[in-house]
Structure 1
Amino acid sequence: MDIDGADKQEEKPVKKAKVAAAQASASAESAAPYPDMALAQDIHRLTMIHAGKLSVDDATSITGTKPEDLLERVMLRVGAGSSKPFDDVIKENEEKYKAIEKEEGKDVSKVEAKEKEEQVDDSEEPLLNPELYRHLQSTLAYNSSSALSEDQLKTLAAHNESILAILAEGVTKAKEEAGDMEVLHATMEIARYQAKTGTKESALAAYENVLALPKLSVGKKLDGHLEMARVCSFWGDWRQMKDVLEKAQKIIASGGDWDRRNRLKAYQSLSNILVREFEPASKLLLGGIATFSCTELCEYPEYIMYAIITNLLFLKRTELKKNIIDGSEVLQVAKEIPVVLKLANTLYECDYKAYLHTIVDLQPHLVANRYLQPHSGYILRELHVLAFQQFLDSYQSVTLDSMAASFGVGTEFLDMQLSRFIAAGRLTAKIDKYGGVVETNRPDWKNARYQEMIQKGDLLLNRIQKLGRVVDL
């Protein structure tokens, strides 16, 4: 059971208010609150701390919470919470779903409105998920005195089975007494409860039952696929997430509103990051900055962070200035992502010394992010290549000492870095170690294009001459 996908390849004390540009859309507001992707990020950070890949100081700085407090909060959230006795939590949850079952067959819009009111505090509602609890207890070596016992975990499992039985009765009742919308609502309740309390396999199977319903609209099919993709992402199954989104793309080709199209693009952008397809991800992320509404997937500042990091690797300087550095949506969340914004600014301003220092500051933020951590080494390497190439593009030759001073590093270190990237074909330059000079070897693009045009012109002329001879005959 791979909760963060680490082998395949922040605590927020107060929930932050969403930025105005990232208000949830109508379809996003109706999305299931589970799986909770903020919780998945916290679990990933705890996994990185436990593995020694993220220091305690860095984790505390990023999350604003000590790791031991974050661990306690996560385990309470996955288990039965802390505000009420265990037995009371079980009893209240059972009463809640019995009340929902009584509503099945009635006006779906009224039921959904009532549920929306009850979802205000979903971010703190315990998951009651015994399988996830056991996995984290083992993986993170959680042995607190407040930990749930094995008997309590078995009680949770039995309780969840009883709730699923209640929800299944609701489906049967809806089929007998109501219409297609009520059946869809009742079947979706089972899938969403499985996403909250069950395993990846049980949740996906429940969503397949939803998608198998007759007369399902394109919009509802897309909603089901997006929620399935979130289940796959939560459990670290990147490959299956990509497969689910590919199916969603085929569905939306036959219809679908712009809101869901934009949400699908946001999901696809993160899926592309997970499989290191950064260029298509960068385009989707940049295009979605103004229309982002997937607050169930990630927070808006987090989305902007992904957009900046990926687009730094591909955007031209003029586009970087226009879309990132001076972008109004980006500036709205500047205070929440100071490191990545400083990275973009120092690169644009050619302040290479500050740029390298910012890369060092960026590293723990990459490790602490479940989407970027598997590619942190690759991203850091590409950011170095980007700066070195930008610097060398301004010179035909430059001394190693001068370049080292600009980057604020030692000459030997710079020599080693440049040699590695030149040998790998990442930099168009060569090093004269005897003279201590770096000579650029940039291709003459204008001349190359001129030669290409001449060759194509000759080819076209030959074809015209052959055609002329055929016509004369």
Structure 2
Amino acid sequence: MSEKMEVDTPTTAATEEKKAEHVTPSASGESAAEHPDMKLAQAIHKAVLMSSNKIPMDTAHIDTLKADLIKMSNPSLIESLASPLQWDLSTVDIAGMKTANETTLNELEEKVKEAQENAGDMEVLEARIAVAQFAAKSMSKKEALAMYQLVLDLPKLSSGKQMDALMEQSRVCSFYSDTLKNKDYIAKISKLAEESGDWDRRNRLKVYTALQNILTRDMKTAASLLIDCIATFSCTELCSYPNFILYTMMTNILYLPRTDLKAKIIDGSEILSVKDDVMPVFTLVKCLYDCDYKGYLQAMVEVESVLLADRFLFPHAGYIMRELHVLGYKQFLDSYKSVTLTSMAQSFGVSVDFLDVQLSRFIAAGRLTAKIDKFGGVVETNRPDLKNAQYRDMIQQGDLLLNRIQKLARVVDV
């Protein structure tokens, strides 16, 4: 009789306490597939920026990346990067790579057939996963996703193993920056996580979801998910711990109250353990908390280069820098009923003209509740009255409710 794969027990109120006994152990960051390598994805991102003169050129980085790509033997990826990296492929044996990959793939598929004929379901699963992992390393995105789909199509596959395969598909999409498909895979994982799945998989799913939210600029949701995982991060297959802390700090600085910023970020033991790896961002947060606005703007200059060098944050560098400016100006103005432009400019270490332009733009956009008295050279804050705002909202909602009741009454009368 063939050996069966583990099958999840249906979750009911009676079995909830014993759920963990019926769940396949999670593939933690250490045991997850080696490829796609997200460090390589970061290296590719930096190299492309260097080739387009958006960040300083580092020829050693480019040369190391090309050597790593050749070692991976992924002709599809190499060909797609030839133009962005200005890479002459005449010295690269693309045809030989394709031939070697086809031979390896056939050998792995033979092992799958052998397992189907002579072994059990678990051996078939392991052989099929080996094919998918090879595809993630040396084949195209489309082929890698298709091979993991064959894993998902296996019968009697536990929900835990399904989540692992879907996470690998999500990583493939993340590697190639395919946010649309990645969104679908994360939705499938989330649905499975609601029905079953161990704590570690659910915890890792938060990181997968958060990074997807960063790419789609849902920073607030990402911030909440990331800060929940600080003490329990195990998703090293998706990003390094310092990078995880970087994402946590950059998103949460925009939303955390000042007291929480101190307790959870500045004094957080986990963050302090990697502070040196994220020093520009840590300095930014510390200066904001200490009301050192001149240091805050200076830190923003260094942080911008950090944003540009990171593949998840790069698309939103301009947005984040704008929000950081608003954050600093708002915190400063909240302390005053009115303040001179000269005094405020001195606090931020900028010229009066620069500050005037910045404040005017943010005030006109409704981002700052203040007005500028150009004649007197004064910025006056105009804090909204919370009680009056709540009263207006109540009146508007009341009118809406009365209109709906009247419409319903007319329908009933008819």
* TM-score class, shorter: 0.7 to 0.9
Q: Counterpart of 1:431 in 2: which secondary structure? A: strand
- Please point out which of 258, 283, 286 is paired with 1:342: 283
Residue 444 of structure 1: CA displacement? 2.4
Q: Deviations over 1:188-220 (max 9, x none)?
A: 111110000011000001111111111111111
What is the Cα-based RMSD across aligned positions, in Å?
2.0
Residue 54 of structure 1: CA displacement? 1.2
2:43 is matched with 42
1:227 is matched with 168
Residue 447 of structure 1: CA displacement? 5.6
Give the TM-score, by structure 1 length.
Answer: 0.76
- CA change 1:160–1:456 in 2 (3 A) is closer
1:367 matches 2:300: no
2:248 is matched with 307
Residue 454 of structure 1: CA displacement? 10
Residue 74 of structure 1: CA displacement? 0.9
| Mapped contact 2:28–2:235 kept (Cα < 8 A) | no
- Please point out which of 80, 102, 105 is paired with 1:164: 105
1:139 is matched with 84
Residue 52 of structure 1: CA displacement? 1.7
Q: Counterpart of 1:350 in 2: which secondary structure? A: coil
Q: Counterpart of 1:239 in 2: which secondary structure? A: helix
Residue 375 of structure 1: CA displacement? 0.2
Q: Deviations over 1:167-191 (max 9, x none)?
A: 1011111111111111111111111
1:77 is matched with 68
- CA change 1:245–1:456 in 2 (3 A) is closer
Give the Cα separation in 2 of the matches to 1:27 and 1:299: 13
2:13 is matched with none
Identical positions, percent: 53
- CA change 1:437–1:27 in 2 (3 A) is same
Residue 268 of structure 1: CA displacement? 0.6
Equivalent position amino acid for 2:209 in 1: Q
- CA change 1:72–1:454 in 2 (3 A) is closer
Equivalent position amino acid for 1:360 in 2: V
Give the Cα separation in 2 of the matches to 1:453 and 1:185: 60
Residue 341 of structure 1: CA displacement? 0.3
Equivalent position amino acid for 2:81 in 1: L
Residue 456 of structure 1: CA displacement? 10
Equivalent position amino acid for 1:142 in 2: W
2:332 is matched with 391
- Which runs of 5 or more structure 2 residues have no equivalent in the other structure? 1-25, 399-414
Give the Cα separation in 2 of the matches to 1:205 and 1:456: 51
Higher RCO (C-alpha under 8 Å, 6+ residues apart): 1
Map residues 173-188 of structure 1 onto 2, 5 A cutoff. 173-188=114-129
1:149 matches 2:91: yes
Q: Counterpart of 1:138 in 2: which secondary structure? A: coil
| Mapped contact 2:28–2:234 kept (Cα < 8 A) | no
Residue 383 of structure 1: CA displacement? 0.2
Residue 132 of structure 1: CA displacement? 1.3
- CA change 1:277–1:452 in 2 (3 A) is closer
Q: Deviations over 1:428-473 (max 9, x none)?
A: 001111111111011122564578789999xxxxxxxxxxxxxxxx
Q: Deviations over 1:19-59 (max 9, x none)?
A: xxxxxx85322210100000100100011111121123xxx
| Mapped contact 2:210–2:226 kept (Cα < 8 A) | yes
Q: Counterpart of 1:295 in 2: which secondary structure? A: coil
Give the Cα separation in 1 of the matches to 2:351 and 2:167: 49
Map residues 156-305 of structure 1 onto 2, 5 A cutoff. 156-305=97-246
Q: Counterpart of 1:256 in 2: which secondary structure? A: coil
Give the TM-score, by structure 2 length.
Answer: 0.87
Residue 239 of structure 1: CA displacement? 1.4
Equivalent position amino acid for 1:155 in 2: G
| Mapped contact 2:27–2:164 kept (Cα < 8 A) | no
Equivalent position amino acid for 1:229 in 2: S
Give the Cα separation in 1 of the matches to 2:34 and 2:90: 24
- CA change 1:395–1:175 in 2 (3 A) is same
Q: Counterpart of 2:367 in 1: which secondary structure? A: coil
1:94 is matched with none
Q: Counterpart of 1:27 in 2: which secondary structure? A: coil
Q: Which moved more, 1:27-36 or 1:133-142?
A: 133-142
1:29 is matched with 30
Give the Cα separation in 2 of the matches to 1:387 and 1:213: 54
- Please point out which of 62, 72, 76 is paired with 1:127: 72
